[in-house]
Amino acid sequence: MVLEPTFSTLYDKWEAISAEGRWEEALSFCDELFVSARQSQRPTFYLKAKKARGISSFWCGHFQTAQQDLRESIDLPSNHNEPTHSIGGSATLSVCQAYLSLLLAIFLESKEAFDFHHSSPDLARLSENPLIMAQVMAAESFFHRLRREIAPTLRHANLLKDHCRAHGLRFWYSQAGILSGWAKCLSGEKEEGMKEMDRHLSELSGGNFDVLALLSVSEGFQMMRDADQAIAFLERALSRSSETGDRALLSEMWRVMAELLSMKERPEGEILQSFERAISIAGENPSPLFLVRATLSLDRWEKSRGGSNPLTGMSLARLDSLYRDKLPEHDLSAMDFAISPDSRENKL
Secondary structure (DSSP) of 8-28: HHHHHHHHHHHHTT-HHHHHH
The confidence score (pLDDT) of residue 80 equals 45
Which positions ≥6 away from 318 have C-beta within 8 Å? none
By percentage, how much of the chain surpasses pLDDT 90?
A: 80
Report yes or no: 154 and 183 within 8 Å, Cβ to Cβ.
yes
The confidence score (pLDDT) of residue 268 equals 96
The confidence score (pLDDT) of residue 86 equals 45
The confidence score (pLDDT) of residue 342 equals 60
304-329: average pLDDT: 93
By percentage, how much of the chain surpasses pLDDT 70?
A: 92
| Cα–Cα distance measured from residue 96 to residue 57, given in angstroms and rounded to the nearest whole number | 12
Cβ neighbours of 27 (radius 10 Å)? 24
- CA neighbor of 145 nearest in space, from 133, 135, 134, 154: 154
The confidence score (pLDDT) of residue 77 equals 61
The confidence score (pLDDT) of residue 204 equals 81
- CA neighbor of 85 nearest in space, from 43, 118, 116: 43
Residues 74-131: tens digit of each pLDDT: 987 655 444 444 444 788 899 999 999 999 999 999 999 999 999 999 989 988 899 9
Residue 348 pLDDT > 70: no
Cβ neighbours of 347 (radius 10 Å)? 9
The confidence score (pLDDT) of residue 346 equals 44
Burial class (CB in 10 A: 0-12, 13-18, 19+), 84: middle
Residue 223 pLDDT > 60: yes
The confidence score (pLDDT) of residue 308 equals 80
Q: How far is CA 232 from the centre of its chain?
A: 21
In one letter, which amino acid is 194?
M
Delimit the domains of the chain by residue range.
Answer: 249-340
| Cα–Cα distance measured from residue 302 to residue 247, given in angstroms and rounded to the nearest whole number | 27
Confidence (pTM) = 0.92
The per-residue DSSP string of 282-299 comes to HHHTT-HHHHHHHHHHHH
| Cα–Cα distance measured from residue 31 to residue 52, given in angstroms and rounded to the nearest whole number | 10
Residue 215 pLDDT > 50: yes
CA atoms within 13 A on the CB side of 101: 26
Q: How confident is the model at residue 238 (pLDDT cuts 50, 70, 90)?
A: very high
Which positions ≥6 away from 305 have C-beta within 8 Å? 268
208-232: average pLDDT: 94
